[in-house]
Chains A and B, each alone.
Chain A
Amino acid sequence: GNSVTQMEGPVTLSEEAFLTINCTYTATGYPSLFWYVQYPGEGLQLLLKATKADDKGSNKGFEATYRKETTSFHLEKGSVQVSDSAVYFCALSDQGYGGATNKLIFGTGTLLAVQP
């Protein structure tokens, strides 16, 4: 079945450092890919998405490119801030049998801690 694998955390960085969180996927067909962010005690917020190969999603300085050849969707940011500290989830959309469903398959999440 479809699945998402993302790098384990925690990832600890100093402010203004470069961030990469790796995400690879296994899927049949052409799923959409997402990054969600979860701040402590809150729900998930959509950070960015890409719906087809070579698409680049970007938001708030974060970006990720849908790479079909490497089945990857790595999250990057050039200069992290303390306020970026959160758990980041990579996900893909799974249309299920018959295409009637659009459930999300999530990775296990990566905790990012940014120190001042």
Chain B
Amino acid sequence: NAGVMQNPRHLVRRRGQEARLRCSPMKGHSHVYWYRQLPEEGLKFMVYLQKENIIDESGMPKERFSAEFPKEGPSILRIQQVVRGDSAAYFCASSPPRGGQDTQYFGPGTRLTVL
């Protein structure tokens, strides 16, 4: 059973460009979480999605950030008009449907560098 997949692993963007980060959850998992880790800090929750629904986006910046988890395909975290402060590691985690919802399994992360 493959783990949580994220791509790309490293992404370099210039200020003003768009960044798209992809996350494929573990097989059988229908819940996806995105977290951001700024340099030398802990992880901060951004958004929680189920298939085709955003359940909790209380940690998302109000502008430029969006997330989706379509019926088919990976979850996408999209950052428009990136700025240097967006440089961070972005981690996706997935969990199974309620009953095993407590444990989240993390992907390897995407390290975004904004020049």
Contacts and interface: CB of A to CB of B under 8 A. Distances in A.
Interface of A: 32, 34, 36, 42-46, 49, 51, 89, 93-94, 96, 100-109
Interface of B: 4, 6, 31, 33, 35, 41-45, 48, 55-56, 58-59, 91, 93, 95, 101-109
B43 A100 contact: no
Given A44-B106, A93-B102, A106 B91 contact: no
- Dominant secondary structure at the A interface: strand
20 contacts: A32-B102, A42-B108, A42-B109, A43-B4, A46-B105, A49-B102, A100-B55, A101-B48, A102-B31, A102-B95, A102-B101, A102-B104, A103-B45, A103-B56, A104-B35, A104-B104, A106-B35, A106-B43, A106-B44, A109-B41
A105 B91 contact: no
Contact of A101 (B44, B56, B105, B109): B56
Contact of B109 (A43, A103, A106, A109): A43
Nearest to B111: A41
B102 A108 contact: no
Given A49-B102, A89-B43, A102-B101, A43 B58 contact: no
Given A32-B102, A43-B109, A101-B48, A96 B56 contact: yes
B43 A44 contact: yes
Contacts of B33: 103-104
A80 B4 CA distance: 29
Contacts of A32: 102
